């Protein structure tokens, strides 16, 4: 009798198991932002910047089509980021991937600074337009440092052309030890400082 009652109580719990439970969902843990809305996934998207308004966009582009190749044709303007012309389309083989961290990245200019979050737009040869929100602007530190990613072309961020005084102020404010992240979902759209200390 007790065994039968126990089985009846366990039945709803067992019935909850299936193919849609959370451990089956795609959940890539990474510092960058992911967009999986099109044929080409945009994974780990970040802008690496050592100063306000200038940096390098990088991500991994994964073509999910087993039959059709694709290509990134343009890095388009958004509210915060200006359009940057590509030297040539970036080809992505069918079932292939391109890591922009390994190809130098794409120069990015606009209205942003390290610690902020921005929206970027990518247009592909297939007609796919990926609008990627909440892309973090990160410092060239730790996993994004020139030592860690020597292929990433950070010359755009390093060649500031500012005065020595302004350069010193930026170095102090945006050093790897003092950066303060900004909450992209704060009221007003600009975000507010979270006050969190950087992770060592």
Task: Output the 3-class SS for 87-128.
Answer: CCCEEECCCCEEECCCCCCEEEEECCCCCCEEEEEEEECCCC
Which residue carries 């994004």 as its tokens? 144
Is residue 14 one of the residues assigned to a domain? Answer: no
Is residue 8 one of the residues assigned to a domain? Answer: no
pLDDT at 161 over 90: no
Can you give the pLDDT at residue 153? 80
Is residue 52 within 8 Å of 112, Cβ to Cβ?
yes
Is residue 21 one of the residues assigned to a domain? Answer: no
Q: What is the DSSP letter of 18?
A: S
* Each residue's pLDDT tens digit, 43-78: 999 999 999 999 999 999 999 999 999 999 999 999
Is residue 187 one of the residues assigned to a domain? Answer: no
Is residue 50 one of the residues assigned to a domain? Answer: yes
Is residue 134 one of the residues assigned to a domain? Answer: yes
Is residue 189 one of the residues assigned to a domain? Answer: no
Domain CATH code at residue 140: 2.60.40.1890
Within 10 A of 116 (CB to CB), how many other CB atoms are there?
20
Domain count, the chain: 1
Q: What is the pTM of this model?
A: 0.70
Is residue 173 one of the residues assigned to a domain? Answer: yes
Structural domain that includes position 164: 30-177
């Amino acid at each position: 009798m007790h065994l039968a009652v126990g089985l009846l109580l366990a039945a709803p719990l067992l019935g909850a198991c299936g193919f849609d439970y959370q451990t089956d969902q795609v959940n890539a843990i990474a510092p960058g932002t992911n967009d999986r809305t099109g044929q080409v996934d945009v994974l780990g998207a970040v802008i690496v910047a050592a100063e306000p308004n200038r940096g390098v966009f990088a991500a991994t582009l994964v073509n999910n089509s087993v039959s059709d190749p694709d290509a990134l044709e343009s890095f388009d303007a958004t509210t915060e980021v200006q359009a940057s012309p590509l030297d040539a389309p970036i080809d992505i083989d069918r079932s292939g991937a391109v890591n922009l961290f390994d190809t130098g990245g794409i120069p990015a200019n606009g209205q942003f600074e390290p610690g902020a979050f921005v929206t970027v737009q990518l247009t592909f040869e297939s007609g796919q337009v990926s609008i990627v929100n909440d892309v973090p602007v990160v410092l060239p530190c730790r996993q994004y440092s020139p030592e860690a990613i020597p292929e990433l072309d950070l010359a755009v961020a390093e060649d500031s052309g500012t005065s020595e005084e302004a350069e010193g102020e930026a170095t102090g404010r945006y050093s790897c030890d003092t950066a303060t992240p900004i909450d992209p979902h704060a009221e007003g759209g600009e975000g507010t400082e979270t006050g969190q200390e950087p992770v060592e």
